[in-house]
Structure 1
Amino acid sequence: MQPDQVSIATQGLLKGRRVLVTGGARGLGLEFARHAGRAGAAVVIADILANELHAAAEDLRAEGIQAQSVVFDQSSPESITDCVVQAAQWLGGLDGLVNNAAITNSGGKALNELDIDVWDKVMAVNVRGTWLMSRACWPALKASGRGSIVNLASDTSLWGAQNLLAYVASKGAVIAMSRSMAREMGVDNITVNAVAPGLTLVEATEYVPKHRHELYEGQRAIQRQQVPDDVSGVVTFLLSDLSRFVTGQVMAVNGGFVMH
């Protein structure tokens, strides 16, 4: 894959940085890792999708990026701890965490149809998992002296997408947690921010009906489809020294569908 405009613009921006990206087997997570690597970072990608994950790491290494993969389950506290230990050992420390791993599972059902088990699973992965991963990474990020956490939210939590309650609620919680975590971790010079992408063309959104894509595109200030590169530059910026005094913020990246 040839470097794109985002990669060229951020070249060298993360030189020497060590970054863990969860949900990195495909989609946005893989693109975040790729752009961080192109910007000079060594990366560990972590995911539950073992085969796709290892293949993704191979692709990154073929591009000349220092990359390793760790299989983990974000719904398991023990697996999260093991993941962070392995990542920090391989990288020799940790400067950045991108909390991207998440599930949807609740799409298409009204709030009175939503299964309690589905709600609990979404919350376990998206909310509790984000908290536990951040907690596990805190000591290594503190030791770095310039730690950064980027939590992936969603603009659905800013405008209130219907028939997606568990996911929307979980991403709203991620935004709230990011603000609280920023205050608690700021004493250790760790920045914590949330990025809220709009509907992006990745594998995870293939189930979304065509009319929903058209709705987004037609109501954006910039009227086109959203692609991973639109989000990757913002994430790379938040991992870099350019954003050392930016913390507790929510970056809505959606072409102006929601102006937050």
Structure 2
Amino acid sequence: MLKGRTILVTGAARGLGAEIARRLAAQGADLLLADIAEEEGRAVADETGARFITLDLGDPASIDAAGTVLAGHGKGVLHGLVNNGAIATGIGGIPFDEIGIDSWDRVMQVNVRGTWLMTRAATPLLKASGSGRIVNIASDTALWGAPRLMSYVASKGALMSMTRSLARELGPDRIGVTAVAPGILTTESTGYVPEARHRLYAEGRAVPGEQAPGEITEVIAFLLSEGALTLTGQVLPVNNGFVFN
């Protein structure tokens, strides 16, 4: 389904990002993977036959450098961008009035500003492809108002709003922009989340139980395909029915 399409995945070194890379590689995509964790990222790139780019989403200069690499890759076009890179400082236990200002700013720098700048860097190449697709990885925490992680919730809510605005700005160039909003997934990246919150999700889903990354990567792969343009601007809560949108 994705053969011949060049796709960049940020935050691809582990967790959901690595699983997205594996799914897209299996569907024939020409992959570029980006992450600040260089050793782990290169291992995933080697596994999936991808090219790896070191990327710090909190550093505008790093994003500009990644954009230069993108422009020189292959034919200088990009068919898909998955904005998966993010940080989740404080998940599971910090009341809103105890969040440090530096911690809040760091979450916004990486999750919101970093996504904006990465999208800005990639957009000329997405336009050149004639069928560009952007998938933003949000979170259903911003749909149900999860407590005690306000900086993360706010950042993911911002991604949802950005998705809708970008869909209108980029639609005339036939670039589709969507977001997926998973709940807690069973990956090495969520091992620090308190057990009570894992239980809340497992017991509260319409389809009870834990959710593995592979259950949503097929949705992401479709959203990156040429046939997904009619879904532009949508936020899809791919969480086995924990939140209905």
Q: What is the distance in 1 between the residues matched to 2:241 and 2:86?
A: 24
Runs of 5+ unmatched residues, structure 2: none
Structure 2 match to 1:85: 68
Aligned-pair CA distance for 1:242? 2.1
Aligned-pair CA distance for 1:231? 1.2
Aligned-pair CA distance for 1:20? 0.2
Question: Do the aligned partners of 1:23 and 1:100 also contact (CA within 8 Å) in 2?
Answer: yes
Per-residue CA deviation, residues 17-53 of structure 1 (Å, 9 max, x unaligned), is 0000000011111111111111111001100001111
SS class of match (1:168) = helix
Structure 2 match to 1:30: 18
Q: What is the distance in 1 between the residues matched to 2:234 and 2:74?
A: 27
Q: What is the distance in 2 between the residues matched to 1:139 and 1:171?
A: 25
Per-residue CA deviation, residues 129-169 of structure 1 (Å, 9 max, x unaligned), is 11111111110000000000000100000001111000000
Moved over 6 A (4+): none
Structure 2 match to 1:250: 235
Runs of 5+ unmatched residues, structure 1: 1-12, 62-66
SS class of match (1:192) = strand
Does residue 208 (structure 1) correspond to residue 196 (structure 2)? The answer is no
Question: Do the aligned partners of 1:155 and 1:197 also contact (CA within 8 Å) in 2?
Answer: yes
Structure 2 match to 1:130: 115
If the length of structure 1 is used for normalisation, what is the TM-score?
0.91
Aligned-pair CA distance for 1:73? 0.5
Which one is further off, 204-213 or 39-48?
A: 204-213
If the length of structure 2 is used for normalisation, what is the TM-score?
0.97
Per-residue CA deviation, residues 178-231 of structure 1 (Å, 9 max, x unaligned), is 000100011111000011011101122110112211111111000121001111
Q: How many residue pairs are counted as aligned between the two chains? A: 243
Structure 1 match to 2:94: 109
Q: What is the distance in 2 between the residues matched to 1:38 and 1:46?
A: 18
Question: Do the aligned partners of 1:42 and 1:91 also contact (CA within 8 Å) in 2?
Answer: no
Per-residue CA deviation, residues 77-102 of structure 1 (Å, 9 max, x unaligned), is 11112112213423432100000000
Identity of aligned residues (%): 51
Structure 2 match to 1:98: 82
Question: Alignment partner for residue 57 of structure 2, among 42, 57, 74?
Answer: 74
Q: What is the distance in 2 between the residues matched to 1:48 and 1:87?
A: 16
Question: Do the aligned partners of 1:43 and 1:91 also contact (CA within 8 Å) in 2?
Answer: no
Aligned-pair CA distance for 1:252? 0.3
Structure 1 match to 2:221: 236
- What residue identity is the alignment partner of 2:135? V
SS class of match (1:98) = strand
Question: Do the aligned partners of 1:22 and 1:98 also contact (CA within 8 Å) in 2?
Answer: yes
SS class of match (1:256) = coil
Question: Do the aligned partners of 1:111 and 1:163 also contact (CA within 8 Å) in 2?
Answer: yes
Q: What is the distance in 2 between the residues matched to 1:30 and 1:87?
A: 19
Q: What is the distance in 2 between the residues matched to 1:88 and 1:207?
A: 37
- What residue identity is the alignment partner of 1:75? G
